[in-house]
Structure 1
């Protein structure tokens, strides 16, 4: 019975700690920007890019990058999938 109480109390503690989000992480959310042909891109360093699926259609893609001022950006754009054959 004591072990059951310890288990119940420890699960409550873990749940309470999981609800707390550090303020530095919560305040640093980067908005996702939609790419258009008129978008000025200032890409100094690419951090990550999403993989293009093997389908023969236009699919959404994401790129996270830093500009020349060191600020992070997330860019969403459209790309043709890699599943088309030329034949």
Structure 2
């Protein structure tokens, strides 16, 4: 499997292959209990304002999840 993935990355962008293995995103709800053992992909927060972002993580059983949630971006600088 790893050899196939390495060869496939030579001919196909790896991001496309990674997206095929990604589960559909789940929306976060206030008070929701999450089992996050390891963050696989953090969202880019380089924007200003509130936007929905997605984070990919693994739970304690090794299952991957994608979580969609609103967040205030960190790219506003000194704006009020």
Partner of 1:75: 67
CA offsets per residue over residues 54-85 of structure 1, 9 Å max, x none?
31x11111110000011000000111011152
Contact 2:22 2:66 in 1 (8 A): no
Q: Residues of 2 paired with 1:86 and 1:30: CA distance?
A: 36
Partner of 2:32: 39
Count of residue correspondences: 61
Structure 1's unaligned 5+ residue stretches are: 1-25
Aligned-residue CA RMSD (Å): 2.3
Instruction: Give TM-score scaled by structure 2 length.
Output: 0.64
1:54 aligned counterpart, secondary structure: coil
Instruction: Give TM-score scaled by structure 1 length.
Output: 0.59
Query: Cα gap change, 1:29/1:64 in structure 2, threshold over 3 Å: closer, same or farther?
Result: closer
Structure 2's unaligned 5+ residue stretches are: 1-19
1:30 aligned counterpart, secondary structure: coil
**Structure 1 residue runs of 4+, over 4 Å off?**
none
